[in-house]
Amino acid sequence: ILNVEQSPQSLHVQEGDSTNFTCSFPSSNFYALHWYRWETAKSPEALFVMTLNGDEKKKGRISATLNTKEGYSYLYIKGSQPEDSATYLCAPYYNAGNMLTFGGGTRLMVKP
């Protein structure tokens, strides 16, 4: 069983704050890392798929970095807005296993 850890488990920030959270995963046989955003009562929505060490991806105010050698990824949100409130999930994909293994998620709440 792969140990994919996300920290913190939950986070409360004020509107306008910038924030970041971490996804840690075993680096052996790593192939790709997926990030998803899951708003309450909606479907998980894909944010990024990252594969290369040092990859950086950006989508609006959200960006992510990847370190495959040490097995971690950071997700950054610049100037948080209430609509950013959601659970953010990471899921690495490995060459052996052929499945996404999801972390427990970071629940972000942005207060207006």
Partner 1 sequence: KAGVTQTPRYLIKTRGQQVTLSCSPISGHRSVSWYQQTPGQGLQFLFEYFSETQRNKGNFPGRFSGRQFSNSRSEMNVSTLELGDSALYLCASSLGTSGGASQETQYFGPGTRLLVL
Residue type, 96: A
Nearer to partner 1, 17 or 102 (CB): 102
Nearer to partner 1, 71 or 93 (CB): 93
Cα–Cα nearest to 76, from 2, 5, 4, 13: 13
Under rule CB under 8 A, residue 45 binds partner 1 = yes
Residue from 3, 40, 43, 96 touching partner 1 (CB under 8 A): that is 43
Under rule CB under 8 A, residue 57 binds partner 1 = no
* Backbone φ and ψ of 42, nearest 5°: -125, 180
Under rule CB under 8 A, residue 31 binds partner 1 = yes
